[in-house]
Amino acid sequence: MTPYLIEARYVGGYRIHLVYEDGTRADVDLERELWGEVFEPLRNVEMFKAFRLDMELQTIAWPNGADFAPEFLYERATA
């Protein structure tokens, strides 16, 4: 089971600092993941910065409906 994501803040570029309830903390660079119809608009840094922490889904999400699977983000944070 993936630990709960409790904090997410913009760092710079396409990097987001993630904090999990198990103490895991990491800056995750998502630049290479921004491809495909829903993610292409996020290549605009201003749009990328508009993410929010979705407590229900336990992930980060954007106003255009884009989000990443919680397991994917945790895997990136612990790699």
Q: Where are the domains of the chain?
A: 5-78
For the whole model, what pTM was predicted?
Answer: 0.93
pLDDT score, position 2 = 87
Residue 59 pairs in a beta bridge with 54
Per-residue pLDDT, 19: 97
Q: Report the top-level CATH class of 5-78.
A: alpha beta
Q: How far is CA 2 from CA 47, 48, 57, in A?
A: 27, 24, 12
- Give pLDDT tens digits along the chain (79 positions): 889 999 999 999 999 999 999 999 999 999 999 999 999 999 999 999 999 999 999 999 999 999 999 999 999 999 9
